[in-house]
Structure 1
Amino acid sequence: MDWTEKVVVVTGASKSIGKSISAHFADLGSKVVLGYRSSRDEIEQIVQEIKETTGNSHVTFEKLDVTDREIVKDAFQNILDRHGKVDVLVNNAGISYGGALIPSNPLEKWEEIVDTNIMGTINCIHAVSLPMLMQQSGSIVNIASLSGLIGVERLSAYSASKAGVIGLTRSLGKEYAPFNVRVNAVAPGYIEDTGMVDRIPENQMSEFKKKIAMKRLGSAKEVAETVSFLASEKAGYITGQTLVVDGGLM
């Protein structure tokens, strides 16, 4: 597949998985737009690193706080004005807090997680849906989580939000199929250098890895390659699905 004329937008592109997804699409030759929320200096550095590593000069960034509908709307309009289209949207932006749903933990944290992980995904899809549906082509890949399928203790808000992303993926896969726009999700398990792994004490890590069928953690690159597969023509008959990347843990 020739990626050189494809425009790919990745939200939450400044951290681990989002950064790797962006770099992978750039390496394939795509025109990649990295969405970021706060640090312009950080995203500028990441973009420069990706350009130098991949030799792809068509890598840019866009201010994209997914929880703010007006910012999202303006950001995608800027992207459309610059590139004329969006071929792939990767909804990677997400947050998590550890803690049980008990009176001593404020519900404001739950609201922030749901607002970012579910409504943020919806806001971005809403902004790009009309151009994709009108051009009758496109692929949306939502980054869900293994926790959205099995539930993780003390990550109830995060697990609920990612379960919502999986349900959204199933429904939109059906809604957009008549327009040749596919919607899928990737559910990573325990990936190196991510928040889920950071919560495991170092002295317990070796025992935890024994629970994984492949006896190791995953890499952000492996998630990125799964995303590009779902976005590609090789997955042209796949929509509404969630592909689990967990080394056999589940």
Structure 2
Amino acid sequence: MTMNENGFYQGKVAFVTGAGSGIGRAAALAFAREGASVTVADVSELGSQETARLIEEQGGRALAVKCDVTRTEDVKAALDKTIDAFGRLDFAFNNAGVEQRNAAIAEFEEDEWERIVNVNLRGVFLCMKYEIPLMLKQGGGAIVNTSSGAGVIGIKGGAAYAASKHGVIGLTKSAALDYAGQNIRINAVAPGYIATPMMDRFTGGTDEGWAQVVSEEPIGRAGRPEEIADAVIWLCSDAASFVVGHALVVDGGQTVQ
């Protein structure tokens, strides 16, 4: 699909973390299809460059930046480059995250706990901390943070991941109240099992692993990254202008059971 010169994000700028693959890549492409210029941020330089290439190949504007969301200097530099390149920041999708190995809490290493929480929760905090002042300067914006179905239920063998993703929802709701009166809407998206490289790692990439995942989805399949991207695009749009501090679960019914 080529970029839409009359899209409802024409002239706007989006910043997407974890944009080198999976949900982040799908969202970056979706923002661009709607006319936005997109900063493609990822810890993988090759991944971000490939996403930017895909956007430009379809006629969009993209800036690829290497960014480790746990590092304040990386986040600030990526946002500075965004302003230098595009002049503004309208939307942010704070999506970068990592999975954990399956392990009961007493068997989980402390340094692995720190890694999960640093990327999945502290990374979202740092991004919002430095995105929001840029949005305030221009009178508003919209932010979506990636939580998970594990942000609304417990996951056996997944305490660190679930804690970090529950934390994203609490962080999102509180930040939303901080800035709702200043025309910045902050929400979260909570994906179920989505067919991404992360899920390949989580399942071991085996048919048996994927069969187990699909068995937990009432809809009978894993989700597509584009289905989460569509939810993000909606949350950032004027169609969601009265949606504030919400965690939108997009999970094929997984957490309804």
Q: TM-score, normalised by structure 2?
A: 0.90
Offset at 1:205?
4.1
For the 8 Å contact 1:72–1:123, the answer to whether it is kept is yes
Residue 113 (structure 1) aligns with: 116
Alignment gaps of 5+ in structure 2: 1-6
Shifted more, 193-202 versus 233-242: the winner is: 193-202
Offset at 1:210?
4.3
**3-state SS of paired residue (1:120):** helix
Does 1:3 find its partner at 2:6?
Answer: no
Does 1:209 find its partner at 2:214?
Answer: yes
Does 1:88 find its partner at 2:99?
Answer: no
**3-state SS of paired residue (1:22):** helix
Residue 176 (structure 1) aligns with: 179
Does 1:226 find its partner at 2:214?
Answer: no
Candidates 53, 67, 71, aligned match of 1:68: 71
Shifted more, 80-89 versus 102-111: the winner is: 102-111
Offset at 1:62?
1.7
Candidates 29, 48, 54, aligned match of 1:49: 54
**3-state SS of paired residue (2:187):** strand
Residue 163 (structure 2) aligns with: 160
Residue 239 (structure 1) aligns with: 244
Change (3 A) 1:42 1:240: closer
Does 1:139 find its partner at 2:142?
Answer: yes
Offset at 1:194?
4.2
For the 8 Å contact 2:105–2:157, the answer to whether it is kept is no
For the 8 Å contact 1:133–1:176, the answer to whether it is kept is no
Q: Which amino acid aligns with 2:185?
A: R
For the 8 Å contact 2:147–2:190, the answer to whether it is kept is yes
Change (3 A) 1:33 1:196: same
Offset at 1:172?
1.0
Aligned-pair identity (%): 37
- Measure, in 1, the Cα distance between the counterparts of 2:198 and 2:158: 11
**3-state SS of paired residue (1:34):** strand
Candidates 195, 198, 203, aligned match of 1:195: 198
For the 8 Å contact 1:100–1:154, the answer to whether it is kept is yes
Alignment gaps of 5+ in structure 1: none
Residue 30 (structure 1) aligns with: 36
Kindly provide the CA deviation profile for residues 106-148 of structure 1, in whole angstroms up to 9, marking residues without a partner as x.
2101101111111111111111111212322100000110011
Q: Which amino acid aligns with 1:131?
A: L
For the 8 Å contact 1:69–1:123, the answer to whether it is kept is yes
**3-state SS of paired residue (2:254):** coil
Residue 125 (structure 2) aligns with: 122
Q: Which amino acid aligns with 1:162?
A: K
Aligned-pair Cα RMSD in Å: 1.8
**3-state SS of paired residue (1:184):** strand
**3-state SS of paired residue (1:47):** helix
Aligned residue pairs total: 247
Kindly provide the CA deviation profile for residues 52-78 of structure 1, in whole angstroms up to 9, marking residues without a partner as x.
1x321x111122211111221122122
Q: Which amino acid aligns with 2:245?
A: G
- Measure, in 2, the Cα distance between the counterparts of 1:204 and 1:120: 29
